[in-house]
Amino acid sequence: MIPRQAATSQPEPTNPGSTCFTASRLNGTTFQIVEDDKFLEMPIIYAKVYPTVFVLIDTGCGGAARDPSVELRSLRRFLETVPVNDNGEAPLNSGGEREYLIICTHCHFDHISGIEQFVETHGNTVWASDYDKVYLSPTRLPSSSLCDKLNIKTPEYTVTNWCSDGQQVVDNAGHDLGLTVYHTPGHTPDEVAIWDSRERILFVGDSMYQYAPIFFFETQSVIKYSESIGKLRQLVRRFNAETGELDHSHKP
C-alpha cells in the first residue's frame, strides 16, 4: 500500500494489557492477524500452524500502533503469549514452541517491519522471491521498502531461502508444507503469491485489494503487473477444478 503519513516517535504505553493486534481463525489451520497501525495500512498477517513449524506470511508494521497507549506491540510476543478466542483461549504459538518460517509476499515496510523479532532465533527461516535479488540487497532495501520515504528504520534480515517460481515450501527437516510460491512481479519486483493446496487458498499479497486501488512507484511496472494478473487468472482457473478462496494482505 502507499504510506499515508510520516513516522513519529512511539510514546510509552499507558494501557496495560492492550495490543495493536487482533487474531481470528480463517480455516482449520490458518489465522489472520490484523495490525492496527499508525500508517493506517491495516496489514493482514497470515499464520499457518503445522506440527513442526509456524508459518507467517508477512510480519506487518513492526508494532507501530495507531493507538499510542497500547502496551503489547511485538508480533512475536503476541503470538507466544496472548490467548486467542478462536484458538481455544490459547496463544497461537505458545512459548515459541514451534520454529518460525516467514514468507515475504514483498518487501514494503508494512510487510517486513516485524521481521527482526524472528530472525534473531536460530532455526527460524525467511523465504523471499529470487526474481530480483538486487532489489532486496541491503543497499537497496531502504528505498525498495519505502522506509526511507517515511524516515523509519529499515529492518535488517537475511533471506535464508530464495524462492524460484513454483517452488514448494518445506520445513527444516524437508517436509512438504503444501505451499507453493509463485512469482508475481509488478506491484514490486519481489511480489509473490502463495498457494495453499491443502486449504485451497491463494494468498496474493498486494497484487490486488478488495476495495482499494493499486499504486505504482518508480520501481514498479504496469506491464509486469498486467502479466502477473494474467498469470494469477490462469492459476485460479487451474485451481478451480475444485473450490478455492483468494486472500489479500490489507484490511478494508
- pLDDT at position 6 is 44
Determine the average pLDDT of the residues in 73-88. Answer: 98
pLDDT of residue 210: 82
Cβ-based neighbours of 59, under 8 Å, separated by 6 or more? 45, 75, 102, 111, 112, 113, 114, 115, 117, 118
Q: Report the pLDDT value the prediction gives residue 118, as an integer from 0 to 100.
A: 98
pLDDT of residue 10: 53
Asked whether the beta carbons of 17 and 29 are under 8 A apart, the reply is no
pLDDT digits (tens, 9 = 90+) for 14-54: 666 899 999 999 999 999 999 999 999 999 999 999 999 99
Interval 90-115 mean pLDDT = 98
> Using 50, 70 and 90 to split pLDDT, how confident is the model at 1?
low
- Of the candidate ranges 68-77, 103-112, 172-181, 201-210, the one whose mean pLDDT is the lowest: 201-210
Q: How confident is the model at residue 250 (pLDDT cuts 50, 70, 90)?
A: low
Mean pLDDT of 2-18: 58
Domains of the chain (ranges, CATH numbers): 15-247 (3.60.15.10)
pLDDT category, 171, cuts 50, 70, 90?
A: very high
Mean per-residue pLDDT over the chain, rounded: 91
Q: What is the mean pLDDT of residues 170-176?
A: 97
Among the listed residues 191, 214, 203, 251, the one whose alpha carbon sits nearest the alpha carbon of residue 1: 214
Query: Using alpha carbons only, how large is the chain's radius of gyration in Å?
Result: 17
Give residue 55's pLDDT: 99
Residues in contact with 97: Cβ distance below 8 Å, sequence separation at least 6, in sequence order = none
Q: What is the pLDDT of residue 217?
A: 67
Cell of 196: 495453499
Return d(Cα 221, Cα 217) in angstroms, integer.
8
- Cβ atoms of residues 169 and 125 within 8 Å: no
